[in-house]
Amino acid sequence: MPSKTLYDKIWDAHVVSTEPDGTCLIYIDRHLVHEVTSAQAFEGLRLNDRPVRRPELTLAVVDHNIPTTDRSQGIDDPESKLQMDTLAANTKEFGVEYYDELDQRQGIVHIIGPEQGFTLPGTTVVCGDSHTATHGAFGALAHGIGTSEVEHVLASQTLLQNKSKNMLVKVNGKLPAGITAKDLTLAIIAHTGTAGGTGHVIEYSGEAIRDLSMEGRMTLCNMAIEGGARAGLVAPDEKTYAYLKGRPKAPKGADWDAAVAYWKTLHSDEGAHFDKVIEIDATSIAPIVTWGTSPEDAIAITDSVPEPMSFSDEHKQSSAARALEYMGLTAGTPMTEIPIDKVFIGSCTNGRIEDLREVARVVEGRKIAPNVDAMVVPGSGLVKSQAEEEGIAAILKEAGFDWREPGCSMCLGMNPDRLEPGERCASTSNRNFEGRQGHGGRTHLMSPAMAAAAAVTGRLTDVRTLDTAGAPA
Amino acid sequence: MKALKELSGVAAPMPMINVDTDMIIPKQYLKTIGRSGLGKGLFHSMRYNDDGTDNPDFVLNKEAYKDAKILIAGDNFGCGSSREHAAWAIEDFGIRCVIAPSFSDIFYNNAFKNGMLLIRLPQEQIDELTEQAEFGSNAVFSVDLESQTVTAPDGKEHTFEIDDFRKHCLLNGLDEIALTLEKAQSIDQYETNTNNAHSWLNPAAG
């Protein structure tokens, strides 16, 4: 039998049929749905009088546009309310399980899938959201789809797909102390560029990847899409099984044993072919921040804002010049001299319990700078209650953070949480696009620890130097 | 899906790289539960000034490009969010064909599902086409899906690649869901086989 990659194995196990040109009908094991990209899909089913083929394989939640303030008295914004009500009505009509805004299991779609044990190794997972790549942390083939494809999955539990190429990102050695999965994933994108993974599924391997917790692997795979990849994958291991065991929707009893036996076969074979291989030295990675308006505009915090003409390609030169103008930055400015107005801790990239623990570790006994507004938006109701039980919420509130209800929040600013024009934000989210966090808002992406350090000093800060550079209360 | 066989018209040049879907259609337009009427929000931040008036410097606001049928774009067009609203907005504006060195995977799929044709050509050819598109309304481009060619105003033909199945669906305006549902037997068989081999795949009632 020829050697196969992890991606080849999952792909082959899901082919229902193949067209003469190689286009495949792929079976979808898990489908996540939220309020912003599903209404038109359910409407399509209704118009064509089609049922949902297997409602138990779809799980719905509201996350993108709900406010992160108290929701028990209803939602003010009529458009947001209409989208939420539409999802509630659609899931009821078609028999799909739904976590509403008051359900403790509610949260960001990519946080609740793993949390509930809905996401499993070796499965295909899709959602009308590009950050579906997150679930690849479990060795699931997971990718974002558009609304037409959401409808296709609801109707048929399949998708028409062309197989992507295999790409291996091997991260050798250990990450230095204080360097997180977020720094690693930004460093990889800085290396490959935002289109470096286009047409590929990336498998991440190497010592530094094995060392990551499941939360870290989710952060890593979450941003595979920012590198252009169709999906990111990490082969499952004991950490994966330990994370999933006992979760509400994970297999139980004999099914669990059978599942683990199968999952142990899910790794790339010796000698399997990758179309593209990139090796990264984990030991050389410093804390990373972005300076521009694309996730590939990422550099070490110890660097300075780059000169547009330093890029070799003319398209990149003009793109960098435009980015500096938008960001209100001057080439040559040390990154650590950039003052900030806001801090956003949260999102499907960094809204999990481990991320909140990191922030608490940095800010404990300190106060956020007087010029800074800082908010923490837990990734789910369960993350929120766990953080409250662990005393993390108390530490963050004591430091001056605003402690919110779960949702996507200022990662995309569809709800009232957004930047004003010209405001600068240290953000743990995934996109620094123009206007992403609010019209005219300026986003610097970084890890939770780095965002916490920025909150304390009021400017971009190397968290490793906080004890000497900061001003603890 | 609407069929597309051929298309001729003015092409708007937009040589920026990494045009993301937030830029194509920003968040305030995502609160709709419909698909139509999004053309007015296309490229909102670049197209309108803060007071809501048209930005005269933006390409689609220039007289020559107001009725553009084709967009000639930069590398990695449509990256970022999976929002199909981006494809809906471009199509609603009247542009059914985008030509660029590369597209994000999700945007590429979304566009074809809406009867749009996305064409990948090497950067050097895009540079040539961009230069000609800058002549405005005097420069008419023709696209022919059957023969997989773009004919530039200078008469030069540029051949492009496209998967046969995708081409077949677009040429004939086929409903992909209906096509898939014709394969119900294969899907049933797949489910039976999987259920026998991997019963753990059925989610626990949690």
What is the spatial distance between Cα A272 and Cα A121, in angstroms, rounded to a whole number? Answer: 20
* pLDDT for the residue A469: 45
Closest CA to A238 of A214, A218, A258, A222: A214
Question: SS3 of B120, please?
Answer: strand
Q: Which residue of B79, B82, B183 is in closest CB contact with A37?
A: B82
How far does Cα A81 stand from its chain's mean position? 25
pLDDT in tens, B140-199: 999 999 999 999 999 999 999 999 999 999 999 999 999 999 999 999 999 999 999 999
Instruction: Show which of residues 92-111 on chain A sit within 8 Å of chain B, judged by CB atoms.
Output: none
Q: Is the pTM of this model over 0.90?
A: yes
Q: Say if residues A308 and A321 touch (Cβ distance below 8 Å).
A: yes
* pLDDT for the residue A185: 98
* pLDDT for the residue A467: 67
Q: Is B18 on the interface with A (CB under 8 A)?
A: yes
C-beta atoms of B194 and A147 within 8 A: no
Say which DSSP state A164 is in.
Answer: P
Q: How far is CA A285 from CA A86, A100, A290, B24, B83, in A?
A: 46, 41, 14, 34, 33
Q: Is A237 on the interface with B (CB under 8 A)?
A: no
Q: Say if residues B85 and B29 touch (Cβ distance below 8 Å).
A: yes
User: Which amino acid does the sequence have at B155?
Assistant: G
C-beta atoms of B27 and A414 within 8 A: yes
CATH number of the domain at B6-174, please? 3.20.19.10
What is the spatial distance between Cα A374 and Cα A398, in angstroms, rounded to a whole number? Answer: 12
Q: Say if residues A340 and A372 touch (Cβ distance below 8 Å).
A: yes
CA angle A22, A28, A32 (to 5 degrees): 135
C-beta atoms of A56 and B202 within 8 A: yes
Which of B49, B58, B84, B127 is the best residue to mutate to test the A interface, defined by the most A CB atoms within 10 Å of its own CB?
A: B84
What is the spatial distance between Cα A156 and Cα A163, in angstroms, rounded to a whole number? Answer: 19
Number of helices (H) and strands (E), helices first, in chain B? 8, 7
One DSSP character per residue, A181-244 reads: HHHHHHHHHHHH-TTTTBTEEEEEESHHHHHS-HHHHHHHHHGGGGGTBSEEE----HHHHHHH
A362 burial via Cβ count (<10 Å: 0-12, 13-18, 19+):
buried
CA distance, residue B139 to nearest chain A CA (Å): 23
CA atoms in the 13 A half-sphere facing the CB of A256 = 16
Expressed in angstroms, the distance from the first to the final Cα of chain B is: 38
Q: Is B203 on the interface with A (CB under 8 A)?
A: yes
Domain ranges within chain B, ordered by starting residue: 6-174, 175-206
* pLDDT for the residue A382: 98
Tell me the pLDDT of chain A (473 aa) as tens digits: 789 999 999 999 999 999 999 999 999 999 999 999 999 999 999 999 999 999 999 999 999 999 999 999 899 999 999 999 999 999 999 999 999 999 999 999 999 999 999 999 999 999 999 999 999 999 999 999 999 999 999 999 999 999 999 999 999 999 999 999 999 999 999 999 998 999 999 999 999 999 999 999 999 999 999 999 999 999 999 999 999 999 999 999 999 999 999 999 999 999 999 999 999 999 999 999 999 999 999 999 999 999 999 999 999 999 999 999 999 999 999 999 999 999 999 999 999 999 999 999 999 999 999 999 999 999 999 999 999 999 999 999 999 999 999 999 999 999 999 999 999 999 999 999 999 999 999 999 999 999 999 999 999 999 999 865 444 44
How far does Cα B111 stand from its chain's mean position? 4
Strands A124-127 and A30-33: parallel
CA distance, residue B68 to nearest chain A CA (Å): 23
A371 Cβ neighbours under 8 A, 6+ residues apart? A339, A341, A458
Closest CA to A33 of A6, A59, A52: A59
Q: Is A369 on the interface with B (CB under 8 A)?
A: no
* pLDDT for the residue A1: 77
**Residues pairing with B13 in the sheet:** B72
